[in-house]
């Protein structure tokens, strides 16, 4: 099946710990994105990557880091510098410009305990 796979589905983190969320796609898409969703809100962009080995900050990048070493993979690390990390995280991909239709994974729900 072609698609976007996020893991884990649920993640619990202690304060002060870094955690990494996985996002893998087998759609051969060039562009990948990370969004954050808070309860009752829309999605906000954390980081995006248009091509391997390149990525850009989105609107709320502070306290997060990413890498794009392979076309199919775009992991997100939530660092201890992120003050309020409890949220629902969604990964997306698209073919790339000019077609920007995006497809989403099933999400990872992160809770700080």
Partner 1 sequence: GIQVEQSPPDLILQEGANSTLRCNFSDSVNNLQWFHQNPWGQLINLFYIPSGTKQNGRLSATTVATERYSLLYISSSQTTDSGVYFCAATYYGGSQGNLIFGKGTKLSVKP
Closest to partner 1 by CB, 22 vs 80, is 22
Q: Which part of the chain contacts partner 1 (CB under 8 A), choosing from 12-20, 66-74, 75-83, 84-92?
A: 84-92
Q: Are 33 and 43 spatial neighbours (Cβ–Cβ below 8 Å)?
A: no
Least CB distance to partner 1 at residue 35 (A): 8
Pattern 45-74, binding to partner 1, x per CB under 8 A? x--x-x-----x-x----------------
Q: Which of 2, 16, 39, 42 binds partner 1 (CB under 8 A)?
A: 42
Tokens 């305990």 -> residue? 113
What is the CB neighbour count within 10 angstroms for residue 92? 21
Contact positions vs partner 1 (CB under 8 A): 31, 33, 35, 37, 40-45, 48, 50, 56, 58, 88, 90, 92, 94, 96-98, 100-107, 109
């Amino acid at each position: 099946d072609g698609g976007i796979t996020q893991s884990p589905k649920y993640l619990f983190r202690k304060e002060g710990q870094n955690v990494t969320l996985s996002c893998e796609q087998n759609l051969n898409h060039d562009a990948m994105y990370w969004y954050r969703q808070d309860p009752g809100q829309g999605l906000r962009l954390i980081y995006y990557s248009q091509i391997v080995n390149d990525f850009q900050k989105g609107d709320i990048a502070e306290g997060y880091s990413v890498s794009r070493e392979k076309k199919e993979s775009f992991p997100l690390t939530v660092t201890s510098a992120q003050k309020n990390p409890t949220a629902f995280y969604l990964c997306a991909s698209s073919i790339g410009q000019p077609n920007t239709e995006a497809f989403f994974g099933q999400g990872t729900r992160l809770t700080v305990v």
